[in-house]
């Protein structure tokens, strides 16, 4: 079967404290090998996963936030972040780390992977998917 | 299970990946390579060092497809291709080179 499906990984939990965020990222990296169309959504406390300057030394777990920057190498370059979730937590786009990918169809120009969308747009994005996995 | 280098014992898992990433040294890498029947050359070191830098930056060991693409980008197409990489590491460039580099098994490898 050559048909590719649209996969959306929905991240709603803070990066540490539970294993959901890290597991989600691992599944994304594994799934990226199957050449499906993969996008990630960050809403609710999930928006904290992308904040910059994370420091986990006090809690004794690995800071996996740099791994998001490798997603471009895995051809995963759509990271939708819900604006309302950011605002409700006093965050803005400037609080998120910069995640870039190289656009193969545009002479490898570097482009940002993070796209801030409204709650209504997020609903439309979800409606377009073939498969949604929630973490 | 453990490697022994200069009288030091370094623990590894059932597949030969070292348990504590901080135990790594060049001497240990040579030792691991021996168990993989690989004679380390400058070309091997180039890939192993590249992997260690990649891990340092992104905190993951990349899948083989991603590794080869990244090598191609940084060292050019004459090195960033399957043939070259499999000649250096016949049992899988990501798997073997990661093991020698003292990194965890690449995510997505079974």
Check residue A1 and give its pLDDT: 52
Q: A41: helix, coil or strand?
A: strand
Number of inter-chain CB pairs under 8 A, A vs B: 33
pLDDT (tens, 9 = 90+) of chain A, 135 residues, equals: 567 899 999 999 999 999 999 999 999 998 887 888 999 999 999 999 999 999 999 999 999 999 999 999 999 999 999 999 999 999 999 999 999 999 888 888 999 999 999 999 999 999 999 999 999
- Tell me what ipTM this predicted complex has: 0.83
- Predicted confidence band of residue B16 (pLDDT cuts 50, 70, 90): very high
Q: What's A6-134's CATH class?
A: alpha beta
**Gap between the Cα atoms of A62 and A72, Å rounded:** 21
Check residue A108 and give its pLDDT: 84
- Let me know if A11 is exposed, middle or buried by CB neighbors in 10 A (0-12, 13-18, 19+): buried
CATH T-level fold of B42-100 = Arc Repressor Mutant, subunit A (1.10.10)
- Predicted confidence band of residue B8 (pLDDT cuts 50, 70, 90): confident
**Gap between the Cα atoms of A53 and B40, Å rounded:** 38
Q: Where are the alpha helices (DSSP H) in B5-92?
A: 26-35, 42-58, 64-75, 82-88
Q: Does B62 touch chain A (CB under 8 A)?
A: yes
Q: Is the pLDDT of residue B108 over 70?
A: no
Chain A residue numbers with beta carbons less than 8 Å from the beta carbon of B106 are none
The whole-chain average pLDDT of chain B stands at: 91
Contact A70 B108 (CB under 8 A): no
Nearest chain B residue to A72 by CA distance is: B66
Per-residue pLDDT tens digits for B94-104: 889 999 999 98
Q: Which residues contact A62 (CB under 8 A, 6 or more apart)?
A: A56, B59
- The pair of three-digit structure tokens given for residue A11, joined into one six-digit string: 């991240």
Nearest chain A residue to B60 by CA distance is: A67
- Nearest CA to B33 among B92, B108, B101, B106? B101
Check residue B109 and give its pLDDT: 58
Check residue B11 and give its pLDDT: 92
Q: Is the pLDDT of residue B110 over 70?
A: no
Q: Which residue has the tokens 């959306």?
A: A8
**Gap between the Cα atoms of A41 and A62, Å rounded:** 22
B98 is annotated as an active-site residue: no
Q: What one-character DSSP code corresponds to residue B106? A: P
Q: Is the pLDDT of residue B39 over 60?
A: yes
Contact B66 A69 (CB under 8 A): no
- Predicted confidence band of residue B106 (pLDDT cuts 50, 70, 90): confident
Nearest chain A residue to B59 by CA distance is: A67
> Residue range B30-44: average pLDDT?
95
The residue extents of the domains of chain A are 6-134
The residue extents of the domains of chain B are 2-35, 42-100
């Amino acid at each position: 079967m050559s048909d590719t499906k649209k996969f959306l990984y929905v991240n709603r939990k803070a990066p540490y404290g539970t294993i959901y965020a890290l597991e989600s990222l691992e599944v994304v990296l594994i799934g990226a090998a199957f050449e499906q169309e993969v996008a990630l959504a960050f809403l609710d406390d999930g928006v904290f996963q992308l904040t910059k300057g994370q420091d986990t030394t006090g809690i004794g777990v690995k800071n996996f936030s740099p791994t998001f920057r490798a997603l471009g190498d895995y051809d995963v370059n759509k990271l939708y972040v819900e604006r309302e979730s950011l605002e409700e937590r006093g965050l803005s786009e400037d609080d998120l780390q910069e995640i870039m990918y190289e656009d193969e169809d545009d002479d490898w120009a570097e482009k940002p992977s993070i796209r801030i969308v409204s709650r209504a747009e997020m609903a439309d994005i979800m409606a377009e998917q073939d498969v949604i996995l929630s973490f | 299970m453990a490697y022994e280098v200069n009288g030091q014992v370094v623990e590894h898992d059932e597949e030969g990946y070292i348990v504590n990433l901080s135990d790594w040294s060049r001497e240990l890498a040579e030792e691991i390579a021996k168990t993989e029947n690989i004679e380390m050359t400058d070309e091997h070191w180039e890939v192993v060092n590249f992997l260690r830098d990649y891990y340092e930056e992104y905190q993951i060991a990349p899948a083989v497809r991603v590794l080869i693409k990244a090598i191609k980008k940084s060292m050019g197409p004459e090195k960033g291709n399957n043939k070259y990489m499999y000649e250096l590491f016949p049992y899988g460039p990501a798997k073997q080179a990661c093991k020698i580099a003292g990194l965890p098994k690449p995510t997505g490898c079974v």
